[in-house]
Structure 1
Amino acid sequence: MIIQNSSNVVKLGLSVALALAATACSGQQPSGDTITLVQGVKGNPFYVAMECGAKEQAAKLGVDLEVTAPDQFDASQQTPLVNAVAAKNPAAVLIAPTDAVAMRAPINNLISRGAKVIEVDTALDDTTISTSHITTDNFAAGEAAADKFNEILGGKGKILALSSAPGISTNDSRVEGLQEGLKAYPGLEFAGVQYTKEDATTAASIVSSSLSADPGINGIFSVNSPSSQGAATALRNNNAAERVKLIGFDAGPQQIEQLKNGAVVALVAQSPYQIGADGVQVAVDAIAGKDVPSDTTTPVMVLDTANVDTPEAQRFIYKTEC
């Protein structure tokens, strides 16, 4: 099952086609412009896949692309990197803000130096600051998880959500989508959201205590990889893996292994490669003074053991290297 906002994808596809046609006709290449991708965290397969898409599109368009990332998904680590990038006066910056509020000042610093800022994946709480925003349709992803829970639980149960921390736009939207999606199924109840700080040990402790406090919980939706790892450990330690169904998020090598060994029953997979490629194209268009979409969403696919090895699923499985 693939979920996407088709109108936005069509608009972006048209933008890409027009931009490439214009470049071919004029013979002009924006090769003198540097674009920098500031990832959310170094080494994560999601961001590696995004980098791969960005690099391929940059090579096609003849633009220079630089990539940098903090060691942790933390605004205090990302801020000095962004300020260092700003000092180089890049033409455009693709950035996954690590905090919806704390990253405002560094991003405003980029803009004050003339950079076009394209938010990729995550976003600031103020949508008027950046030139454009490209992300997974995270709300639809949460709704898709609700649909899958209804299927695997036979329409009855209580679903606990595990998120990182309040204020991360993508994670918040996934939980909100789950809540809204569950409303379509009278037999399914939302059991609240708990915050794990993307720490597997914390997630395991939360799941263990939640199951003890509320034995009616029979579904867990984890919106990030460390929480999925911790939840799977807790279910195993509490002999609850058969009774409580875990749906994870993302599709890196570790998540695919969890799916295949039964630790999770399904994964909601994004398309970070497309986010990176689309981000570079929007940046090039913005540098050229063209109108660009303020918001673009990319599709998700719900992976399970029945479809994970299909050709369709392969473009949603993340990379560890380009």
Structure 2
Amino acid sequence: MFRKILEGDNEPKKLRHKVRNMLELAAFFSICCLGMPGCGRKANTEALNAPDEVSALEDENNKKDDNITEIVRFDDKLDDYKPSKGKYNFYFTYKVDHPWWDAVAIGIEDAAKQFEEKGIIIDYEYLAPNAASAQEQIRRLSDASNRDFDVIGVDVADVDMVTPAINDLIRDGRKVMTFSSSDAAKEDGCERIAYVGNTHNYEDGADLTEALCEKLGYRGKVAVLVGTKGAPCHEDRALGAQNVLAKYQDMEIVEIVYDEDSVEKSYQLTQKILAGHEDIAGLICCNMSNPVGAARAVIEAGQEDEVVIVGMDHDQEALEYLRDGIIYALGVQDCYSIGFDTIQVAVKIADGCLPGDAYPEKTEEITTIIYQDSARSMLQTLYGGMD
């Protein structure tokens, strides 16, 4: 089978090799599955805290490992839907070349493999620019519209800018869905057919901020590192953070900055924040890159015991900082299921199915807040390392 998976615009073999290695590792550690793909999944609003006391340390560790495999699963199975064709051709573009979308690609690849085992070929292209750009995303959508794809999928870089391009494609008879972390929804005026991914980014930002406020005793100055300006997931998390902080009179936002989903830029911005606000107490990070950059800057400044960091997702370095107590909490998304369900929904859209009994208009995936006590198990599950 021919399958293109391009990381940025690099040679596809590089990412395919990475994805396959991660799949083999993940399959070894994966234990259980929550629900069938294609169905809505609720956000995990209960953070994964230290487990209840049990009679033996071994039982405690087993329980924790089981909890982790419920958060990041690698064993979804295709539902009972019977595709009407023997071959499909999809195009997916996302905000920026970044490891977060490599994790989504694992689910995409696994779903395609399971379809192949049923005799159904899924060809796809999986593309992103090296730097986030709504204009570049619009160009890529335009190029894809001139080729023979059954479905075009987009992780929206900017709702206001990209929605008109999506609507133009729909009116020209193209089948367009959104996926991953950023939707352009019906209420935004977008005519996309369906969305698969995180439907609760606002709540994720709010939950992380509540954890930070509690840790600080509801008192202190904080800064918010957002990510890409206009990206719905980043903006929604930042809005959730701001609204939570507004509830507490002794909490104060001293800066809101955009790091463009860059570790290096978030590091530099955090350096400036620390230098400009000697009494800074917390940092709220709204994407997967900025917890890493923020932690590096805090360590460099020797303020690990003074600044509380919360942020998003499963970056290995971020999880190591969580394990070491540099980062206080991370919101981990189920990227695998996002990718897996994206393929299942794309097949149904290609067959002409509209949202309803076959699949929902919005397929909701989970996010779970984890703390230091879960970091080692998460590192082993995702990366095969405990140290």
TM-score bracket for this pair, using the shorter chain length = 0.7 to 0.9
Query: Does structure 2 conserve the Cα–Cα contact (< 8 Å) formed by 1:50 and 1:274?
Result: yes
**Post-superposition offset of 1:215:** 3.8
Asked if residue 124 in structure 1 is aligned to residue 184 in structure 2, the reply is: yes
Whole-angstrom CA distance in 2 between matches of 1:55 and 1:109: 29
Q: What is the aligned length?
A: 302
Change (3 A) 1:37 1:165: closer
Structure 1 unaligned segments of length 5 or more: list them: 1-5
SS of the equivalent of 2:330 reads strand
Asked if residue 41 in structure 1 is aligned to residue 103 in structure 2, the reply is: no
**1:234-279 residue CA offsets vs partner (Å, 9 max, x unmatched):** 3233332210111121212232233234432222111111111122
Change (3 A) 1:72 1:207: closer
Q: Which residue of 2 aligns with 1:150?
A: 213
1:57-76 alignment runs, 5 A limit: 57-61=111-115, 62-66=120-124, 67-76=126-135
Q: Which residue of 1 aligns with 2:13?
A: none
1:232-271 alignment runs, 5 A limit: 232-271=295-334
Query: Does structure 2 conserve the Cα–Cα contact (< 8 Å) formed by 1:40 and 1:70?
Result: yes
Q: Which residue of 1 aligns with 2:256?
A: 193
Change (3 A) 1:204 1:60: closer
Whole-angstrom CA distance in 2 between matches of 1:201 and 1:69: 19
Asked if residue 133 in structure 1 is aligned to residue 195 in structure 2, the reply is: yes
**1:211-240 residue CA offsets vs partner (Å, 9 max, x unmatched):** 444444201011124433332233233332
Change (3 A) 1:10 1:133: closer
Equivalent pairs: percent with the same residue? 21
Q: Which residue of 2 aligns with 1:3?
A: none
Query: Does structure 2 conserve the Cα–Cα contact (< 8 Å) formed by 1:40 and 1:97?
Result: yes
**Post-superposition offset of 1:113:** 4.3
Query: Does structure 2 conserve the Cα–Cα contact (< 8 Å) formed by 1:301 and 1:313?
Result: no
Query: Does structure 2 conserve the Cα–Cα contact (< 8 Å) formed by 1:46 and 1:318?
Result: no
Asked if residue 273 in structure 1 is aligned to residue 336 in structure 2, the reply is: yes
Comparing 135-144 with 185-194, which one deviates more in the overlay?
185-194
Whole-angstrom CA distance in 2 between matches of 1:204 and 1:311: 24
Asked if residue 91 in structure 1 is aligned to residue 146 in structure 2, the reply is: no
Match of 2:372 among 291, 305, 313: 305
Give the aligned residue type for 1:54: I
Q: Which residue of 2 aligns with 1:172?
A: 235
1:216-235 alignment runs, 5 A limit: 216-235=279-298
Asked if residue 54 in structure 1 is aligned to residue 121 in structure 2, the reply is: no
Structure 2 unaligned segments of length 5 or more: list them: 1-33, 42-75
Change (3 A) 1:138 1:85: same
Match of 1:77 among 124, 136, 141: 136
SS of the equivalent of 2:224 reads strand
**1:28-75 residue CA offsets vs partner (Å, 9 max, x unmatched):** 543233222223223x22111111112222333435231222222223
TM-score (norm 2): 0.68
Whole-angstrom CA distance in 2 between matches of 1:246 and 1:70: 29
Change (3 A) 1:114 1:250: same
Give the aligned residue type for 1:32: K
Whole-angstrom CA distance in 2 between matches of 1:294 and 1:318: 33
Query: Does structure 2 conserve the Cα–Cα contact (< 8 Å) formed by 1:30 and 1:63?
Result: no
**Post-superposition offset of 1:303:** 2.3
SS of the equivalent of 2:80 reads helix
SS of the equivalent of 1:243 reads coil
Change (3 A) 1:50 1:22: closer
TM-score (norm 1): 0.80
**1:187-215 residue CA offsets vs partner (Å, 9 max, x unmatched):** 54444522223344543443344344444
Whole-angstrom CA distance in 2 between matches of 1:318 and 1:279: 24
Change (3 A) 1:98 1:151: same
Q: Which residue of 2 aligns with 1:100?
A: 159
Whole-angstrom CA distance in 2 between matches of 1:32 and 1:68: 20
**1:283-302 residue CA offsets vs partner (Å, 9 max, x unmatched):** 22223333323333311112
